[in-house]
Amino acid sequence: MTQRIAILGAGVMGETLLSAILRSGHAAADLVISEKREERAAELRETYGVTVTGNAEAVADADVVLLVVKPQDVLALLDEIAGSVRPEATVVSLAAGITIGAIEAALPAGVAVVRAMPNTPALVGEGMFGISPGASATGDRIDDVVRLLESGGKVVVVDEAQQDAVTAVSGSGPAYVFYLAEAMIAGGIDAGLDEQTARTLTAQTLVGAAKLLAESDETAEELRRRVTSPNGTTHAAITTFDDHGAKDALIAGVAAAAARSAELSGPA
C-alpha cells in the first residue's frame, strides 16, 4: 500500500530523512515537504523532485507526519497543523525534550503519536533512532515508523521513560566519539604523525572497532581485553586512562546528559 509521508522541516535532519526515505524505495510523488523559504523550496524540488508546500497543506493527505523542527517551534507548528492532520495519521516527533503528552494534547484526540530521538550519523545512513509510541500508536503504526526510520539507520523501541537515557547514550553519543577522536588525533600528532595520517588512522580505527562491536556476540569489555596483552602497549594506555579516571568521567558524563535531558523535557 502506498504511504503518503509529510516531512515538516527541511533543515539538515529533515533533508537527511528525505534522502534516506527516497533511497529506501519510496517514490518522490509519495513525499511532501514543508518549507517557507522559496529559494530552499526550489532547491528541494529540483534536487529530489518532491512537492514542497506549507505545513497545513503538507499534512492534509499524509499517513505519516515527521516533525523535524527545533524543539521551541514544535508547539506552534502543532497548533498550525492540528486542524489538518488526518485522524488516521501517525505523527512522529524528532524534537528533543518534547513529550508525547504535550504532542497528544495539541492534536485531535486519537491521533497516533511517536516520539523519536535521532542522531547525526543518519547523515551517512548509520543513524540510531530510539522511538517511544504513545497510547494510540500500536501494532502496524509502530511497524510503519520503524521501517521508515530504518532507511536512515537502526531503530530501537523503548518506553518514553527511557528517552533521557537514549538521548544521553546515542543522541549525544556521537559527540563523545568525536571527543575521543580529537584526543587520539592529538596524541598521534604528539607521537610524530602528520595531522592527516593521524586522522585517517583514527577514523578507520573507530569505524572498524564499531563494526566489530556491532557484529560480535562478545561484550565491549571482552573485545577490549582481547586487544590488551599483559604489559603491552595497549595495557600501558588503558592503565593510564584508568589512572586519570577516564572511564568514570565518561560514565558521569552520560549520567549528566540524561539528567539534563530530563530537565529539558519537564513532566511527561
Give the Cα separation of 84 and 5 in Å (integer): 14
For every residue of 19-60, DSSP letters joined together read: HHHHHTT--GGGEEEE-S-HHHHHHHHHHH--EEE-HHHHHT
Domain 5-163 of CATH type 3.30.460.20? no
pTM score, two decimals?
0.91
State pLDDT tens for residues 130-161. Answer: 999 999 998 899 999 999 999 999 999 999 99
pLDDT digit string, tens, across residues 48-85: 999 999 999 999 999 999 999 999 999 999 999 999 99
**93 contacts 101 by C-beta, under 8 angstroms:** no
- In the CATH scheme, what is the code of domain 171-265? 1.10.3730.10
Cβ neighbors of 16 (< 8 A, separation 6 or more) are: 122, 123, 127, 152
For residue 65, the SS3 value is: strand
Name which of 79, 76, 104 is nearest 90 in CA terms.
104
Spans of all domains in the chain: 5-163, 171-265
For position 267, what pLDDT does the model report? 58
Residue 18 pLDDT > 80: yes
Whether 21 contacts 42, CB under 8 Å: no
Contact between 56 and 34 (Cβ < 8 Å): no
Domains 5-163 and 171-265 share a fold: no
Share of the chain above pLDDT 90, in %: 91
Residue range 209-235, pLDDT digits in tens: 999 999 999 999 999 999 999 999 999
Q: Which residues pair with 31 in a beta bridge?
A: 5
Q: pLDDT-based confidence at 45, cuts 50/70/90?
A: very high
Q: Residue 268: what pLDDT?
A: 47
